[in-house]
Structure 1
């Protein structure tokens, strides 16, 4: 048995012992909820789990599987979330349907209610969808951040159409603050992408707001789309500083590109030495559009007293082998470790590698230089 399989079985056993859901699984991972549903069903069917659902019927013992639909109202106690979760995942559709009667007002199991909204049993599916429609408009930000990612994944299921419609209504016609909350506070990248799409369609952000989203979001798709929208907003004075200050290369590249539209071509020069290759390429393009020569700028930087770390690499990206290779070879022997490593990388890009020189650099005290020399020699 794999470690993952044993971990999932252990989660079901812990749930049987009454352990709260947030201690059994990572509730922020959408797949964890659908896996739990399948794991509980598998455990019950194969005799590894025999939960008592007497709290649904008032009858404890082996007769609980004779539950009828009308028994949903015969409640003698309020179940804890572990017992409620087990019932919501039970193989018996009558148990699942009866359990839904006790899921109202229980945000901790709303993700399982969403799973039941794609159930193969029509009455279960109908009741779950009704609960979702009632719960989502007033749900807290924390509950939405857990439930919406699950709903997004469920939308692709055979019976996921109503879930898609419900989620679309929540994002595109619901409270705008909920969209903002999901975009800025949800850990799930797919959810943030959906929220951004809704925010753009509804015009919920100005250029500065979009720039802030792009600069701070770790998801590449969100960065790309938000940054493009921020540039298109034509608010360079407020958006460009935010974009250029991002730690993400593709966002800085968008900020550099925006300099051209603002007529501020010369301001792109510092980004010729950016750690992002995409940003460096955009800086070269913007400078050329403004009538400046990026190759000349690289050559001047590489011959100056304080060579920027990535100036040799940039020269290798756009220079000429016959002219620039001698300068880069010189830089492999002087300057800081990053400059020397950058010079080796530049030589490789210019196809000007001298094997003997590269072998000598394998003994360099700077790990970056050794790494680049190995790459130049062996690919």
Structure 2
């Protein structure tokens, strides 16, 4: 049996997979077990910000694996110290305390617990279209009913309001709201950008009511939108920030950043993770963050994103919408079946794209993708899309 047959037989049926088996990747290219080459515009769902097998990440993993892979958080370790320092120094304001975990959903769980512990309050305001994870707390903050309903009752205290609607948020605010949790760009909802000054308005409402502003940067962070953190476009500083996906260049890792005053509410025993902050993952975090900063990849994402939107603008008269920020782009085609056809035809042409929110082609390529490769792939995608409509 090949990998597909084995996984179909033994793995739980939790994923709808594209019928190829990937075995190798270099930069923005990946290869399957039949020798086919693909331009990867999915990047592990916004994970491989440095592309595949980036030398800095590979070398960091090899070097650390030869010394110390895991020791638990009963002890200090040097890669964790360097990763914590690097993230704290990169984050604006006093977002200088870090908790390390292994995924985005864990980062959100930490944020929820920290907000409740710090404020002594129970309620949270989240947003329609929002996606924050699939564990019980993060799932409670997630909007999509088909994700939530099979697992109810979930964690009580979460209410959802329309994304971008400050008036709706204000109507729900009171002195029992622990926090407002928001994506600065909604990813799973189809790359939805908020109205101008939306995050600033949320910051003001949270300040007025004594609630915490929690920004979920799991998909939008690490330079993808043209700044290291997407919230920097709005000139606000959250109380808590959730990171994962691209933080370690493909190695499973996550982090929750918090302001000093907020983080001080946690005491030993309040929260923890066996694997979070392990030396191997933290070595990858350090290599990834340093490369993002040293090569000014947020600026590269902004520049390449503008170029990508110019190419895709040829579709504006044919599709519902073309939108994005940096290298976080969505093409809304208006029909679920058409979106799947575009994905499947792109696969045949050697391009990997992803469908989200039913009818949106999501494009989140590595930030290091070569200009020519990006442009050629998108021009081909424009042609495929026109033929599918």
TM class by smaller structure: under 0.3
User: Which protein shows a greater Rg?
Assistant: 1
Which structure is higher in helix share? 1
TM-score of the superposition, structure 2-length normalised? 0.21
Which structure is higher in strand share? 2
* Greater length-normalized contact order (CA 8 Å, ≥ 6 residues apart): 2
